[in-house]
Structure 1
Amino acid sequence: MSQYLIDVHAHLYPSSFPNTPIEEILLRAKAANVKSIVNVSETVEDAKKILELKNDASLSDSLREIIEPCAGLHPVQPVGSMSLISTDQANSMLEFIRKKSAELIGIGEVGLDFTPHVLQNAIDSNPNLNLSTEELKKIQRQVFAQQIALSLQFDLPLNVHSRSAGHYALDCLRDYGARKVVMHAFDGQVKYAKKGVEMGFFFSIPPSIIRSPQKQRLVAEIPLSNLLLETDSPALGPEKGVDNEPNSIIISASEISKIKQISFEEVYQTTANAHRLFTRIANHY
């Protein structure tokens, strides 16, 4: 079994860490035995920065190889006071994925966000559009479906956001035939997560599990064979409101070990799981 860890969901680019050099973060991750970081975007600009980092000659080869690029359009787009995906944003991301598919290991962060205040903010910020909550949800589903289609076309796994929309996102994934999926920081009910397991999907666990009874219940009920590790850096750390980094992934692993009453070494199964899902990530034996 591989004796290293993989962070399957992080936002590792300068705009997420304006006060911390990315090189320092990568060095700390490497020291913590994190060999791969699946770097997800929220916008086309993020995705471009991720590929720039992957090819940054100022970083050593051993640091660049840790970065595993993804590209995807997040369902919430905070441009000024807006939180509504535009057609132009969606089309730009779809074109970017098509153009750069050979350089990507997955598509993400994509999905649905039905958080009430997010939907209301979109309505309030776009009064001229006269959109209802249901119409906003429909727009999110349409963009999600387009990115699911690209994942099938290019055989790239999906890295899925589903805040306050867990079972809706799972229904979309099922209805559009998604095959390779990780549900990132899933906040839905265990009964829905189990349906995801039945479809062969994975669930990634952030360090915030130590302060989340919901995540603790999820780990208790989901088989180890369907669990992955993530940090969602700089969010979802062990302390609320404090920047999180990939080196804290050891907290996720330790908590899984504790909840499932297994050795820490057995949690390395999540690394094998990550390789099963993200087949373009190199093995580091």
Structure 2
Amino acid sequence: MDGHIVDVHAHLYPSSFPTTPIEQILTRAKAVNVSSIITVPETLEDAQSIFELKNDLTLSNSLRDMIEPCAGLHPVTPQGAMSLIRVDQADSILQFIKDKSTELVGIGEVGLDFSPRIMNNAIAAYPDLKLDAEDLKNVQRTVLARHIDLSLQFDLPLNVHSRSAGHHTLDCLRDYGARKVVMHAFDGRIQYANKGVEMGFFFSIPPSIVRSPQKQKLVAAIPLSNLLLETDSPALGPEQGVDNEPDSIVISATEIAKVKKIDVSDVIRQTTENAYKLFPKIKKNSI
């Protein structure tokens, strides 16, 4: 595959790949010309482990240089519960962002998740708080707003999750003045995505596009100038339920080329340019 490729959204740390050495994953990605992997945590512990990888001297310099760290608090815990019941739970990760602002390439994974299952589980788990679904949504909005403030303060782009909350997330980003945004694996309607394009936002496409008519329609509607490539490793691979790795990003590029009826080299060139534009702190590595 010709041309450097940037994976703008992957969960590349040991807790996501407990049985696969990260070195092997990076080596496979490098073999298909992935030069940078924007690595997004879900928790403070994940964010700390990303920096441990960056300083892991058992990895070669070229492999460590591929890892580009973000930090942020995902609205849902890895166990599938809501992680933001109390707004003060975000304080530690927000302080981490402040402390590491010069070393981060972006803030994420952050956003909103209004999936009914998540709402219902949270209400059931914390009956003493007497929160309803709208209360929980407002908690998420408040925490996202605090991340937006830091993105503006430190001029860092936002890597944004929006499950069952497409237009709500876009409205929140607009209302709080977010400027640099990638909407990862956006599952909202095309009309909302178009509003995101009007605001100058980018949309990243995972390999699961090959089994998602919604993602195929999204790619058809959005200009190539607003598209990026992602894997969301270990999720959203070409096969449901099978661990996904950054080397599968070539599937995203190939499917975008198919949908847009253009050469895959054009997809790689433009999406890499887009990635460097949105994430200017990425080290432009040589393969």
TM norm structure 1: 0.97
* Alignment-mate amino acid for residue 35 of structure 1: S
Counterpart position of 2:12: 12
Aligned length: 283
Q: How does 1:158-169 map to 2 (within 5 A)?
A: 158-169=158-169
Post-superposition shift, 1:32?
A: 1.0
Q: Is the aligned partner of 1:284 residue 2:285?
A: yes
Share of identical aligned residues, percent?
Answer: 69
Using the alignment, how far apart are the partners of 1:169 and 1:66 within structure 2? 29
Post-superposition shift, 1:82?
A: 4.1
Q: Is the aligned partner of 1:90 residue 2:90?
A: yes
Q: Is the aligned partner of 1:195 residue 2:195?
A: yes
* Alignment-mate amino acid for residue 7 of structure 1: D
* Alignment-mate amino acid for residue 56 of structure 1: D
Counterpart position of 1:29: 29
Counterpart position of 2:230: 230
- Classify the secondary structure of the residue corresponding to 2:179: coil
Check 1:31–1:262 CA distance in 2 against 1; reply closer, same or farther (3 A cut): same
* Alignment-mate amino acid for residue 180 of structure 1: K
* Alignment-mate amino acid for residue 211 of structure 1: R
Post-superposition shift, 1:89?
A: 2.5
Superposed CA deviations along residues 203-228 of structure 1, whole A, max 9, x for unmatched, are: 00000000000000000000000000
Counterpart position of 2:138: 138
State whether residues 82 and 126 of structure 1, in contact with CA within 8 Å, keep that contact through their aligned partners in structure 2: no
Using the alignment, how far apart are the partners of 1:35 and 1:82 within structure 2? 34
**RMSD across aligned positions (CA):** 1.1
- Classify the secondary structure of the residue corresponding to 2:38: strand
Q: Is the aligned partner of 1:157 residue 2:157?
A: yes
Counterpart position of 2:180: 180
Using the alignment, how far apart are the partners of 1:28 and 1:13 within structure 2? 15
Using the alignment, how far apart are the partners of 2:55 and 2:92 within structure 1? 22
Counterpart position of 1:274: 275
* Alignment-mate amino acid for residue 223 of structure 1: P
Using the alignment, how far apart are the partners of 1:231 and 1:77 within structure 2? 19
* Alignment-mate amino acid for residue 125 of structure 1: A
Counterpart position of 2:55: 55
State whether residues 74 and 83 of structure 2, in contact with CA within 8 Å, keep that contact through their aligned partners in structure 1: no
- Classify the secondary structure of the residue corresponding to 1:65: helix
* Alignment-mate amino acid for residue 189 of structure 1: R
Q: 5+ unaligned residues in a row in structure 1: which ranges? A: none
- Classify the secondary structure of the residue corresponding to 2:71: coil
Post-superposition shift, 1:78?
A: 4.9
State whether residues 13 and 50 of structure 2, in contact with CA within 8 Å, keep that contact through their aligned partners in structure 1: yes
Q: 5+ unaligned residues in a row in structure 2: which ranges? A: none
Superposed CA deviations along residues 167-186 of structure 1, whole A, max 9, x for unmatched, are: 00000000000000000000
Q: Is the aligned partner of 1:112 residue 2:83?
A: no
TM norm structure 2: 0.97
Check 1:192–1:82 CA distance in 2 against 1; reply closer, same or farther (3 A cut): closer
